Chain A
């Protein structure tokens, strides 16, 4: 646990908004909320603490994209989930010169969502073909798009899942 405490202290002293989270419920130990300008400093701090990069991805919400970074450590169980909102143009600084593995993850995120990672030297399509470069398949339709509040875990709220009401057919089937 010392590693987690250490990291927590380091991140706190770097004035990042970091909080411990319930691993049993959400699968990561620390949750960090970043602003767009903090992303690179945060990545550097992670590298200095010896974390490896798990993935970079994004979620399409209003007002803009939420970019998710996940890091974990080779020596101890400590998984860190960081979220940053991209700016109104859908831009966020790249971390691919700090964590080289982020290169492909960022290219993929650019493929799927159109998030622009400023400073990324090579945002060619990676998984989609070139003709589909403007497709952005994971963008939500307007009727499905929700606000970032909706997908944020309610702190201290009930974690129980609400059972879905049985449909009529199912009730007949159960009889």
Chain B
């Protein structure tokens, strides 16, 4: 019989302690953020999709010399880089830089392998679309569009 009452006592006590924790949380500030209406500051270091880097601030050309290392090293095979020889220009000129974001694993090997730091991660994290094709990016266009 005494065990019965002891159970009630310990049970009641643990219940009260637990409720105490919950009560303290009630009077604390809310930690959840109502996402689409409110937003938190996301760190600029976030790895979004890949994009080409601008030459410098007021020059919207890119830095890529079409060596193809990024495409070669990408484990997911989601980069297509093509260039052509043009008269009067040293080296190759970038004509195609296609990027299939649906396959990308955001590992960063392409960014690392680019000796010209022509690639970087964007800090865009809100991407949504209705079809897969929307995530096949043409990075040259994207760079020009900025």
Chain A interface (Cβ within 8 Å of chain B)? 169-170, 172-174
DSSP class of B's interface residues: helix, strand, loop or mixed?
Answer: loop
Task: Assess whether B68 is in contact with A174, with CB atoms less than 8 Å apart.
Answer: no
Residue numbers in B under 8 Å from A174 (CB-CB): 115
Q: Mark contacts of B104-127 with chain A using CB atoms, 8 A cut-off: 1 yes-contact digit, 0 otherwise.
A: 000000000011100000000000
Chain A nearest CB, measured from B46 CB (Å): 27
Task: Assess whether A169 is in contact with B115, with CB atoms less than 8 Å apart.
Answer: no
Q: Report the Cα distance A173→B64, complex, angstroms.
A: 10
Q: Report the Cα distance A173→B72, complex, angstroms.
A: 13
Q: Report the Cα distance A172→B68, complex, angstroms.
A: 11
Q: Report the Cα distance A174→B115, complex, angstroms.
A: 7
Q: Which residue of B lies closest to A170 (CB)?
A: B69
Q: Which residue of A lies closest to B114 (CB)?
A: A173
Q: Which residue of B lies closest to A168 (CB)?
A: B67
Q: Which residue of A lies closest to B68 (CB)?
A: A169
Chain B nearest CB, measured from A168 CB (Å): 10
Chain A nearest CB, measured from B79 CB (Å): 14
Residue numbers in A under 8 Å from B114 (CB-CB): 173
Of all A-B residue pairs in the complex, the 5 with the closest CB atoms, nearest first, are A173-B115, A173-B67, A169-B67, A173-B69, A172-B67
Q: Report the Cα distance A150→B37, complex, angstroms.
A: 61
